[in-house]
């Protein structure tokens, strides 16, 4: 049987008492009951809980076929989306594809270059991306459940115009894939009018919980990621992360400890990783927890760090600054490739004591040293151990965080599946832009 992601809270135990853990365990049981029965706030949006086992097999087969077609024909694939409509896919590609993925030759990559648009409104970024792909064979995937989010819809208009001018409307239709609501919204209406290939975002799954739906899966297939393994990883932990008690459910224990630290004034969580490929896992995690918990004046503020790089910029603050945060380290146990320190005859750099030691082992000691130092400095430390950077464990990790986040939101007494505050800036922006009708 394959390993599972492990959760380690040993270095945080001195900050907590058994009584506190027992009391939080009872609250977790109540949150579990609400999430399982769909009786908590936002209960109509918990389709992700059983999705790894119940996803639409027919649509999934069609998605894989379309992804392979794009993979074989395109030189560049543009994913257009923002927030939950792109972060999960980007997290998967950054974690599971080779570092410097787009710089490799297609013969080595065996897939098109993948770029992202519509996740901001920078004129410079957009102009340079348009110029970069202007001579490449392009397919695009625009992702928006509502079809009204300004950033991706503006980008889609630009790339749609590019494709229609270059290929003509008929050929452009074949190169545009739309992932949106099953029946409603302007993007759905446009897709049906133009005859674009479409994939549905389930009604009962919100964007930040939609990584394992067509939102994330189509870009993964195009990039050559084994999505069968991704879904298998998630499915294999549905039962484990469905256990109601914190002692036997790592995801629930993580949620419980986060809330206990919050109650002790630790209102910020720093997610630290030691692999550059996990940078966008952290970005997705920040949206997942920030948008789910940050309501009613409550919620842990999610921030991320990239070690050992940030140990040389923020390490001093972590060690001796304000004591209002705790840390969670995301650690990959076994890298897919190794680099070993060579022996040098003269040892003028005084590094021969590390001869024959792998970079990963040096990284491990940096991680262990930092966790010990920060704990001694008054910062509780948690650790999530991922056996390897593989599709199977990406699926596990996504489900681990999703389940923990759902429980954590209920522990804070908020609806973890809505985002009413996001609409405030949109209404102001549309008003300032002179939009004729603002809802």
| Cα 155 to Cα 138: distance, rounded to the nearest angstrom | 14
Give me 73's structure tokens.
């024909």
Q: Which of the residues 27, 174, 264, 426 is marked catalytic?
A: 426
Q: Cα-flanking dihedrals φ and ψ of residue 426, to 5°? A: -65, -45
- Any catalytic annotation for residue 286? no
Q: Which of the residues 113, 197, 291, 293 is marked catalytic?
A: 291
Q: Cα-flanking dihedrals φ and ψ of residue 248, to 5°? A: -115, 5
Do residues 28 and 252 make contact, with C-beta atoms less than 8 angstroms apart? yes
Preceding omega of 308 cis (within 30 degrees of 0): yes
**Beta strands at 381-386 and 6-8: parallel, antiparallel or unpaired:** antiparallel
| Cα 276 to Cα 307: distance, rounded to the nearest angstrom | 9
Do residues 200 and 144 make contact, with C-beta atoms less than 8 angstroms apart? no
| Cα 249 to Cα 252: distance, rounded to the nearest angstrom | 5
| Cα 119 to Cα 89: distance, rounded to the nearest angstrom | 13
- Any catalytic annotation for residue 291? yes
Nearest CA among 153, 400, 173, 379 for reference residue 264:
379
**Which residues are marked as active site?**
291, 426
């Amino acid at each position: 049987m394959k390993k599972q992601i492990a959760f380690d809270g040993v270095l945080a135990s001195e900050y907590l008492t058994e009584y506190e853990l027992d009391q939080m365990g009872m609250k977790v049981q109540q949150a579990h009951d609400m999430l399982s029965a769909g009786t908590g706030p936002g209960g109509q949006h918990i389709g992700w809980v059983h999705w790894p086992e119940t996803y639409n097999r027919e649509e999934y087969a069609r998605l894989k076929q379309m992804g392979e077609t794009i993979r074989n024909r395109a030189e560049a694939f543009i994913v257009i989306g923002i927030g939950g409509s792109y972060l999960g896919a980007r997290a998967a590609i950054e974690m599971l594809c080779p570092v410097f993925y787009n710089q490799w030759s297609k013969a080595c990559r065996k897939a098109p270059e993948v770029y992202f648009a519509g996740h901001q409104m920078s004129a410079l970024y957009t102009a340079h991306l348009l110029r970069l792909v202007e001579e490449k064979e392009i397919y695009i995937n625009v992702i928006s459940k509502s079809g009204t989010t300004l950033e991706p819809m503006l980008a889609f208009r630009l790339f749609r115009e590019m494709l229609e001018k270059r290929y003509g409307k008929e050929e452009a239709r074949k190169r545009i894939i739309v992932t949106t609501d099953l029946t409603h919204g302007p993007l759905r209406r446009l897709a049906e009018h133009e005859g674009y290939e479409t994939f549905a975002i389930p009604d009962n799954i919100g964007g930040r919980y939609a990584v394992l739906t067509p939102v994330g899966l189509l870009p993964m297939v195009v990039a050559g990621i084994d999505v069968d393994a991704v879904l298998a990883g998630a499915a294999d932990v549905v039962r484990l992360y469905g256990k109601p008690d914190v002692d036997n459910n790592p995801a629930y224990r993580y949620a419980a400890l986060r809330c206990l630290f919050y109650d002790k004034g630790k209102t910020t969580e720093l997610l630290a990783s030691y692999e550059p490929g996990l940078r966008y896992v952290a970005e997705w995690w920040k949206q997942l927890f920030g948008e789910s918990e940050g309501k009613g004046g409550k919620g842990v503020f999610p921030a991320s760090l990239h070690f050992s790089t940030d140990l040389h910029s923020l390490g001093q603050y972590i060690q001796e600054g304000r004591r209002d945060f705790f840390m969670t380290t995301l650690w990959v146990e076994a890298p897919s490739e190794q680099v070993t320190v060579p022996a040098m005859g003269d040892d003028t750099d005084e590094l021969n004591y590390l001869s024959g030691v792998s970079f990963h082992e040096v990284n491990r000691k940096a991680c262990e040293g930092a966790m010990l130092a920060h704990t001694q400095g008054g910062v509780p430390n948690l650790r999530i151990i991922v056996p390897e950077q593989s599709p199977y464990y990406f699926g596990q990790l996504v489900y681990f965080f999703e389940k923990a986040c759902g429980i954590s939101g209920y522990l804070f007494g908020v609806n973890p599946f809505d985002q009413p505050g996001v609409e405030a800036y949109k209404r102001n922006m549309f008003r300032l832009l002179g939009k004729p009708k603002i809802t």
